[in-house]
Structure 1
Amino acid sequence: MEEQQVKILKRVLEGWRMVLLPLKSIFLWEQQWHPCAIFASISLTYLVIWLLDLNFLATMAIVGLFINFIDFLVPIICNSIYTPSYWTGQKEKMFEDICRSLVSYYNKILQNISTFYSLRETSPCVYYIISISVSLTLAWMASAINNIFLLYIFSTVMLLWPGIQHRGIFNTMLSMLHLAPRTSPFKTE
């Protein structure tokens, strides 16, 4: 099943394969300046969105137009710049690894969602506690914090997450939390 998904994704992303290889190195922070480039590009994008101050539908329309424009131009530019001889077996293997990773993450997300919804049948109390808690927290955050700022934080975390995982920063932080001495908030003398 997963192999079939990888083949389909490879076919869909065929025009983007020359762009995906450098993007992989950027998202995995192979150079020290890559996290700064990601952060700066996200910040610039959201600065433009904030400065335009469009309503939601106009913003979605412009984002859709931009995505369609990029999706149209990238394969044309890549095919005109790079000849077929530029594509080697090593690059094909890297492209297949990227597709395999994307399929793996997609399947993992779907599995987590189905596991959460299976809690409704197996443990309804836990299911409702989690869904009500998350819904209330999201409602509070949406009312207390600007929605564009929330999207900015979410986008930044999502685009920096592959590098954070690749570098092991998240695991290091977790291990530091577990190694920290346990202290009671109440002093007893």
Structure 2
Amino acid sequence: MSELKKKEFNRLKNDLDAWREIILFLHDLLDWKYPYSCGWIVSGITALYLVLWKLDLSIVTQLSLLCLFGLLGAFFYPVIAKLFFKPEKWTGVQEKHFEIVINKLLNVKFSVVDFWNTFFWNIADKSIIHVFKTSGVLLGLAWIGASVNNLLLIYLTTLTMCLWPGISQLDEFHVKLNMLKKKLNLSSLSPFKNQ
């Protein structure tokens, strides 16, 4: 582990220490470790978006309420957690699990930063390739956004992001992915690591 990653790891672990029980629960839920995890995820997200659709709130109101719930959660959760989760019940196995989750969160952060840097790698050059690449992606996103309801797009994106950790661990998914790569002759490309 590099020095930068160790610093980031320790900082993130320290920042999320008060939230460790809920983080482990959410990690296990997203990884489908509980029975019916998939159903709970889909039901919860669908119920949330149905409420948002029915309320038909403006974006400013939605963002304000999101920030309000985030503020209240950040204030009250650590106090409530101390009542329900006793520090002496925290085991070494849970600590190792927490460190694995923190490491996964760091890997996601570094992957997003790498993607961002790769996508805009030649912005300083202002080359024609960069302009065409960026314009094509942005025009494609604009066309999709104009064609499909925004709330539906956000719902599908949220659903995909929340179901992806569980789906990507299924053996059947990897079998189908390998069959697709063979048909398309993409065997050298491997965006998914076998776990």
Q: What band does the TM-score fall into relative to the shorter chain?
A: 0.7 to 0.9
The structure with the greater share of residues assigned to helix is: 1
Q: Percent identity, aligned pairs only? A: 29
2:151 is aligned with 1:124: no
Matched residue, 1:145: 148
Q: CA deviation at 1:9?
A: 0.6
Q: CA deviation at 1:180?
A: 4.1
Q: CA deviation at 1:168?
A: 5.0
CA distance in 2 between counterparts of 1:39 and 1:136 reads 30
Structure 1-normalised TM-score? 0.87
Aligned CA distance change for structure 1 residues 138 and 9 (closer, same or farther; 3 Å): same
Q: Which residue of 26, 29, 52 maps to 2:55?
A: 52
2:12 is aligned with 1:4: no
What are the within-5 Å matches in structure 2 for residues 72-91 of structure 1? 72-91=75-94
CA distance in 2 between counterparts of 1:176 and 1:74 reads 46
What are the within-5 Å matches in structure 2 for residues 1-189 of structure 1? 1-120=4-123, 124-167=127-170, 170-180=173-183
CA distance in 1 between counterparts of 2:77 and 2:97 reads 19
Q: Which runs of 4+ in 1 moved over 6 A?
A: none
Which structure has the larger Rg over C-alpha atoms? 1
Query: When the two structures are aligned, how many residues end up with a matched partner?
Result: 182
Structure 1 range deviating more: 43-52 or 22-31: 22-31
RMSD: 2.1
Unaligned runs of 5+ in 2: 186-195
Unaligned runs of 5+ in 1: 183-189
